[in-house]
Amino acid sequence: MFENIIAQEGVVEELKTGLARGDLPPALLFHGPDYSGKLSTALELARVTGCSAPNPADRGGWNCPCRDCEQHRTLHHPYTLTLGGRYFAAEIEASRRAFVESPRRSTAYLFVRSLRKLLRRFDGVFWEGRETGFKQAAAGLAEVEEGLGIFYPPSLSRGGEAGENYRELIKTHGALLDRIAAAARDAASLRACDNISIDQVRRISSWVQLSSGDFKTIILENADSMLIPAQNALLKILEDPPAGCRFILLTPRRRRILPTILSRLRPLRFAERTGAQGREITDRIFHHPWEGSLKDFFLSASSGFSLETFRKASGDFVEDFLNRRSPDRGTLSFLAEKNQKENRRLFKIFLTQVEEELYRRFPPPQPAWVYQVLVKAGACLREALSQEELANQNPLLLAEGLGYDLRSLCRELSSGTGLN
């Protein structure tokens, strides 16, 4: 039980104790930095909770043979929903590389699960009757869904953990593997993957009330990105949660969730992984030696650039607008170095780094006026991303325009009011 969760012993022990006592509440908050295992732990909690093994010796173990655990391992279980943004492109590419370079049952699961995490964001529960957003991704998602079945570990009955079957599979279907990974990364770049809208929260409310099933789990990743109307809609569900249902909210920024929602969640804090723990994860799970941080590992896999490249660019960008200077094109030149799809992906990573840079410079607890300015800056970043995705605007030009927009916020930051 929870044997695949690395370096979060305190959280794992609290969950095990709550399950053993039967007093784990219906609403939990997993908070902590990105790349700390929050989603993996939430998915594992859903699997352990829904395990239907008749043999007590099997119950809860990763290799449990029951049908429910098999569906959870490949992220197909119909009574677990997952929604919210994630570093999909980075995870998919890192998992693809691990499978190709070290073909075995464990890396096959890793690759399949990285794609299924994305596909589950487009469940019909969230999108039925809604064309916007889903239609853009439909063709690519269909290709991923159709091709992925070949790589499911259960279909590989011979060869053991590192048998010839896996190497032969990649040799025969390597082009298909690359195609579906590319299609998934394109779908992951759409804004539809990042939003948790009020409409989707209402659909979840209907689903938990009307769907059958012994126990349902709803996982909301990056829950802090929900707009206030969506959070208020969620609050109505949490005030009187349906029986046989658990909500798990994941966030790197606990403070951005409404206090009324926080009061209804039991918080579990995930610690940032050390360099040694990160190396253990990249070696044990991805079979790839790595000396940097986990974040740098994933960014390098998806972008071809190191974390330091993005940090320097975002730091220089923030320094320019804080000092009311025009954005420097040299700082942003990496947004024009690759093809259109790659530049879009780099732009999304860059915006994330800019927001993180702002919070590094103005860490909590902040005065109320500083917090309001940071919220406004976050809205500017999301608008820039929206313009790129919906209007297909040039990322480099959008970044320059964003610099001018953020520069105007500095008047509020320097005035000490933030209320203009």
The domain spans of the chain are 9-269, 305-415
DSSP three-state, residue 241:
coil
Q: Measure the N-to-C terminal CA separation of the chain; round to a whole number of Å.
A: 52
Residue 319 is predicted with a pLDDT of 87
Report field, pTM of the whole predicted structure over 0.85: no
| Cα(163)–Cα(20) distance, integer angstroms | 38
Residue 160 is predicted with a pLDDT of 46
Q: pLDDT for 54-73, tens place per residue? A: 887 777 788 888 889 989 98
DSSP string, 97-138: HHHHHS-SHHHHHHHHHHHHHHHGGG-HHHHTT--TTHHHHH
DSSP string, 245-301: EEEEEEES-GGGS-HHHHTTSEEEEPPPPPHHHHHHHHHHTS-----S-HHHHHHHH
CB atoms within 10 A of CB 293: 18
257: closest CA among 271, 243, 238, 241?
Answer: 238
DSSP three-state, residue 184:
helix
Residue 295 is predicted with a pLDDT of 80
Residue 157 is predicted with a pLDDT of 41
| Cα(75)–Cα(78) distance, integer angstroms | 9
Residue-level pLDDT, tens digit, the chain, 420 residues: 888 898 899 999 999 999 989 889 999 999 999 899 999 999 999 999 988 888 877 777 888 888 899 899 889 999 999 999 888 888 888 999 999 988 888 888 899 999 999 989 888 887 766 655 566 667 778 888 888 888 887 654 444 444 568 888 888 888 988 888 888 877 777 666 667 889 889 999 888 887 666 789 999 999 998 888 999 999 999 988 888 899 999 999 898 899 999 999 999 999 988 888 888 899 989 988 887 788 888 877 766 666 778 888 888 988 888 888 888 888 888 887 777 777 777 888 888 888 888 888 888 777 777 777 788 888 888 888 878 766 778 888 888 888 888 888 777 666 654 444
| Cα(324)–Cα(409) distance, integer angstroms | 10
- Phi first, then psi: give them for residue 245, nearest 5 degrees: -145, 140
Are the CB atoms for 418 and 366 separated by under 8 Å? no
Specify the CATH number for 9-269; select among 3.40.50.300, 3.30.470.20, 3.30.450.20, 3.30.1050.10.
3.40.50.300
